[in-house]
Amino acid sequence: MAVEGTDERDLQLKIDQYGNMLFKLSYIRLQNVEDAEDVVQEVFYQYLKNQESFQSPEHEKAWLLKVTMNACRKIWRSAWRRHRSDWQPDGEALDGVWDGEFCPHLDVSQPGPEETLVRKEEKLRLLNAVLALPAKYRDVIHLFYYEELSVKEIAKITGRAESTVTSQLTRGRDQLRKALRSAYEM
């Protein structure tokens, strides 16, 4: 199905370009693979319905991130979500989603089997530490480190003041440092 002015090839290029980024942001916010997939579908549906043209690729990316945040907020507030039991990530459902991206500080040379297992465990430990953060810290940590947005861009997307984003980044980093330090001290 194509909307006037948008052909399927252009839409597929946008999905390829932004789909993984939007999924990761949705997952960080909602902590559920199915909900994150639903959000990404909704965002691209809104993209198709959107008749405004974007000033630049950065404007388009910011618009998609803002719509994603709003769609996550809508799901988070829904009555259905509030009555659902909490779900904990097991790592298996996320295999391949963050490969090589969620822990960019790790060396990506060809590791042996033991090192591959250790890296996978480190990625999962980092993911769980990020997921354990309060939502306001998860959002800014993800947008800053994994989407490489500036504090100013994050403030615009989230509707928060730049000083708030900066303090949330600082507090989020502190909480991550404490969580990861205690995980490694065990």
pLDDT tens digits, 106-153: 344 566 777 777 777 887 888 888 888 998 899 899 889 888 889 999
Q: Say whether both 80 and 115 belong to one domain.
A: no
Q: Print the domain residue range for 73.
A: 1-84
* Domain-embedded: residue 19: yes
Closest CA to 160 of 172, 177, 175: 172
Predicted local confidence at residue 108, as pLDDT: 44
* Domain-embedded: residue 90: no
Token pair in block for residue 128: 């769980």
* Domain-embedded: residue 89: no
Residue 75 has pLDDT above 90, yes or no: no
Which helix (H) or strand (E) is 2 found in, with range?
none
Largest CA distance in the chain: 58
Provide Rg for the chain, Cα atoms. Answer: 18
Confidence bin at 39 (pLDDT 50/70/90): very high
Q: Say whether both 109 and 183 belong to one domain.
A: yes
Mean of the per-residue pLDDT values for the chain? 79
Residue 16 has pLDDT above 90, yes or no: yes
Predicted local confidence at residue 186, as pLDDT: 56
Predicted local confidence at residue 131, as pLDDT: 87
More confident residue, 184 or 72: 72
* Domain-embedded: residue 118: yes
Q: Say whether both 49 and 100 belong to one domain.
A: no
Q: Please indicate, yes or no, whether the overall pTM of this predicted structure exceeds 0.85.
A: no
* Domain-embedded: residue 144: yes
Last residue of a domain, one of 34, 57, 84: 84
Domain count, the chain: 2
CA distance 131 to 125: 10
Burial of 100 (C-beta count, 10 Å sphere; 0-12/13-18/19+): exposed
